[in-house]
Amino acid sequence: MSILKIARMGHPALRTKARAIERGELTSPTVQRLIDDLLETMIEYRGVGLAGPQVHVGLRVFVAALDAGEGGEPEADPADPLVLINPEITPIGGDVVEEWEGCLSIPDIRGRVPRAREIKLRAFDRKGDRLEIHAHDFPARVIQHETDHLDGILFFDRMRSLETLSFLDEYSRYWAKD
């Protein structure tokens, strides 16, 4: 396994729509090694999610530790992060919630982003088995954020206003109490 270099905002890999992984590729050594590297890289950088395009790989795959602690901060040892391949999201209901987000590709920046409170997700796991997950609140937010990366969308693109855009220090000082 390897810790991969994370693409930062401005790199074209983050603005390019990733291609679907074919069924025959799902269990290939190349895709399985990528998944292991995504997991190791996410944990190393204390992220709660990491998508293929964020490590310069234009494939529709992401990993996510949906059991993150309070405030979306990752726990010291996330248990069983999910591997999601070719995700398809369907919002459930019309409830949209605006909450704080950050991104490993946009280090030390936070902003309030509107997202569907509840979603249904269909995807494949790393073995090629079909998953269907209902998620709400923080897990739904992470899934939507990471799926956006697969479509070349950054969280800035979803913000209604850039007024809450903050460096991490200022977020911690002035906004984290919200």
Q: What is the pLDDT of residues 40-70, one digit of tens each?
A: 999 999 999 999 999 999 999 999 998 754 4
Task: Find out whether 134 and 122 touch, Cβ atoms under 8 Å.
Answer: no
Q: Quick one: which of 115, 111, 104 has its CA closest to 171? A: 111
128 conformational bin, left if phi > 0, alpha if psi -120 to 50, beta if neither: left
Secondary structure of residue 45 in the 3-state scheme = coil
Answer whether 0.85 is exceeded by the pTM: yes
Burial of 105 (0-12, 13-18, 19+ CB in 10 A): buried
What average pLDDT score do residues 22-50 get? Answer: 97
CA separation for the pair 40, 61 (Å, rounded): 15
Tell me: the pLDDT tens digits for 101-130?
A: 999 999 999 999 999 999 999 999 999 999
Give a three-class secondary structure readout of 118-174: EEEEEEECCCCCEEEEEEEHHHHHHHHHHHHHHCCCCHHHHCCCCCCCEEHHHHHHH
Task: Find out whether 60 and 87 touch, Cβ atoms under 8 Å.
Answer: yes
Residue 84 — very low, low, confident or very high, per pLDDT cuts 50/70/90? very high
CA separation for the pair 144, 146 (Å, rounded): 6
Q: Which of 70, 132, 146, 170 is catalytic?
A: 146
Q: Does residue 16 have a pLDDT over 80? A: yes
Q: Does residue 76 have a pLDDT over 90? A: no
Tell me: the pLDDT tens digits for 134-158?
A: 999 999 999 999 999 999 999 999 9
Task: Find out whether 156 and 162 touch, Cβ atoms under 8 Å.
Answer: yes
Domains of the chain, residue spans: 12-175
| Mean pLDDT, the chain, whole residue set | 93
- 146 is a catalytic site residue: yes
CATH code: domain 12-175 is 3.90.45.10
